[in-house]
Amino acid sequence: MPTLRSADAELFYQIAGSGPDVVLLHPFPLNHFFWAAIAEQLSNRYRVVLPDLRAHGDSELGDGPATMPTLAEDLAALCRELRVHKATFAGVSIGGYALLEFWRRHRDHVAALVLANTRPGAETPQSKAARLQTADKVLREGTSGFIEEMLAKLLSQSTRTNRPDTVDAARRMMQKMSPADIAGVQRGMAERADSIATLATINVPTLLISGEEDVVPLSEFELMHQRIAGSELRVLSRAGHYAALEQPQEFGALLREFLDSRPPRQ
């Protein structure tokens, strides 16, 4: 994979295909392989850019924590490196958090948005405290218990029961992260800004995707749908928080339809 030096960290990314740019941001604590099946569906018409977010996959944590402003500036550096002037950006979970920050800072790069399995609000005092406690626990005890908890929480019951291959793929991606990586990202997410007020400023085509068994309540997606003018909302059945990994054909079809309906860009 090619690399990019962004401030204090070396970041890895992959490119598939050619054409108008589509940048896909994976969820925590996975990496760009999350998008493998989706990239196959898009790369015959689009240049698909697949970064490993800071501290995920083969990308370094740097000085940490991995805050949303830091991730947004990493993304801006990647756009400069690859001469991405205007693109569709899709983000899942932390990828969505980073994109809302990126929109505030670098919206001129954004032709369209896909926000999947994510939410706009900041952490509550309780959820912030839980993230910080998890960071400390992983540093003390290692990652194995944390990974199994994440798999049980974030994948749908259907996936856990019927798709051991998908569960194993998610586990292998999670195992790429060290305790320090996981702690750095948890601490960064704990500090993320509230983006609810930002929603009304989004004036590009926007697709919202939820999983039927997502840990993020549907009400969060309905809020985004109400606040982002002209946005579309879709809910995928038999999918949890990792809808694109659990139901790649359905997710990819939604994404491809959304992309193909936009005017061509280069």
- By C-alpha distance, which of 33, 26, 36, 35 is closest to 185? 26
pLDDT in tens, the chain (266 residues): 799 988 899 999 999 999 999 999 999 999 999 999 999 999 999 999 999 999 999 999 999 899 999 999 999 999 999 999 999 999 999 999 999 999 999 999 999 999 999 999 999 999 999 999 999 999 999 999 999 999 999 999 999 999 999 999 999 999 999 999 999 999 999 999 999 999 999 999 999 999 999 999 999 999 999 999 999 999 999 999 999 999 999 999 999 999 999 765 54
Q: Which residue has the tokens 């998908």?
A: 166
Alpha helices in the chain (DSSP H): 36-42, 68-82, 94-106, 125-141, 144-154, 157-162, 164-174, 179-190, 196-199, 218-227, 243-246, 248-260
- By C-alpha distance, which of 88, 79, 71, 92 is closest to 23? 88
User: Domain coordinates of the chain in residue numbers?
Assistant: 3-260
Name the CATH superfamily, with its identifier, for domain 3-260: Alpha/Beta hydrolase fold, catalytic domain (3.40.50.1820)
Q: For the full predicted model, state whether its pTM sits above 0.75.
A: yes
In the chain, the amino acid numbered 262 is R
